[in-house]
Amino acid sequence: MTALRLRDPIHGFLHADRLEAALIGSRPLQRLRFIHQLGLTFLVYPGAEHSRFSHVLGAMHLAGRIFDALTDKRPDLVAADERDRLRRRVRAAALLHDVGHAPFSHSAEDRFAGGIDHEEMTRRLLASPEIEEVFARRGDGVGRDEVIDLLAGRVPPELRFLAQMVSGELDVDKMDYLLRDSLFCGVRYGVYDLDRLIDTLVPIVDPETGAVGLGVEEGGVHAVEALVLARYYMFTQVYYNVTGKALEHHLTEWLRGAGRFWPDQPDAFLAEDDHSVLAGLRASTDIHARAVVARAHFPLAFETREHLAPEESAAFEAVLPELAARFEPGALLIARSSKDPHRLGPSRVLVAHPDGRLEPMEQASHFIRHLTRIDRYRIYARPDLCAEVARTLRARFAP
């Protein structure tokens, strides 16, 4: 039964049942209203004001869509008396998957006290009395612990596809954030054919593991390629934007200088969001804080090409100690943007051909097979040192 209806700019009306509505109203979910989906990217793309909150709602919606598509195509995939409960379980997991994100999302994920990460904080928040009570009152057969297990990938082999829907090669996280980030940044790089992709998803038994995973019919290969290309270009053009990376590193430097860590206890963590961090930045006279607040970031002194070979990366790494010794601490920002956005991961995406043959996507797609890793270094320098840093690096690394 629908308990809550919400209008979303990507997916239209979203419907939430009693459990989902209660989770949406909880403190961990409401906090996500005040966490920018793309960190400080709103200082680069003015429209990028969207939040983690809207993203997890979209992910929940897509989890339901994909579950329905798979079970309609394969009615024997799950027992009939388990279908509704498993559907609600995977939707709840998708809704809750991001609650442990720190302020400004991925910009300063390494600042958790105790050396934990946002996934561990998610687990701790879900283990809190508030979330326990929500499941106890509204779960209707869906338990909190089984949602935690699903998020951690602890599912039997015949339900591996559920875990992959939330965190995997073709998960609802990517499917939503690419379209959402593209829309709010005002770009078209993240647009792909969502309907075609969902329509061609199919559960496949992996012959190597025996697990039932998410695969794609042969007719969906180009839809997967479009998703991969969208992710590739969003990384190169938006997520690794030259100004955005500078601001991200200024934020990290300020946090380090101030000795500020994200609390590792749930109640204290819930008090930290983008607004609390911005208040600290505004009150600070530190050069890195002012760089963010006044958008007066260090200028770019040098950048490598976008796709370095491993030996080129090693050569550049060898120069970094020399730079650190030559220029005073805090005068440089060293940013490395390194990612394989086209790699589909260790679980493999299998393509089901009409003749029954199964083929890994990397073999079925000539395009995906030939994409290379993004690996780029950028050096930003204090304005008075920028020219000197540029000369030093150009002498060692010709454009």
Q: What is the secondary structure of 197-211 as a DSSP string?
A: HHHHEEEEE-TTT--
Contact 8, 120 (CB under 8 A): no
Long-range residue pairs from 41-46, CB within 8 A, at least 24 positions apart, any chain: 41/185, 41/238, 41/239, 41/241, 41/244, 43/243, 43/244, 43/247, 43/292, 43/295, 44/241, 44/243, 44/244, 44/247, 45/184, 45/185, 45/186, 45/187, 45/238
Q: What is the 8-class DSSP label of residue 331?
A: S
Alpha-carbon distance values, 79 to 17, 76, 82, 86, 257 (Å): 22, 7, 5, 10, 55
399 residues of the chain, pLDDT tens digit each = 899 999 999 999 999 999 999 999 999 999 999 999 999 999 999 999 999 999 999 999 999 999 999 999 999 999 999 999 999 999 999 999 999 999 998 778 889 999 999 999 999 999 999 999 999 999 999 999 999 999 999 999 999 999 999 999 999 999 999 999 999 999 999 999 999 999 999 999 999 999 999 999 999 999 999 999 999 999 999 999 999 999 999 999 999 999 999 999 999 999 999 999 999 999 999 999 999 999 999 999 999 999 999 999 999 999 999 999 999 989 999 999 999 877 776 668 999 999 999 999 989 998 888 888 999 999 999 999 999 999 999 988 865
Catalytic sites, residue numbers: 118
Query: Which residues have CB under 8 Å from 289's CB, separation 6+?
Result: 250, 254, 280, 281, 282
Distance, CA of 226 to chain centre = 18
Tokens standing for 124? 């701790």
Contact 253, 291 (CB under 8 A): no
Q: What is the pTM of this model?
A: 0.96
| DSSP string for 340-399 | -TT---TT--EEE-TTS-EEEHHHH-HHHHT---EEEEEEEE-GGGHHHHHHHHHHHS--
Tokens of 49: 């004001």
| Structure token pair of residue 53 | 């909150």
Ordered by where they begin, the domains of the chain are 4-396 (1.10.3210.10)
Looking at residue 1, what is its pLDDT?
A: 80
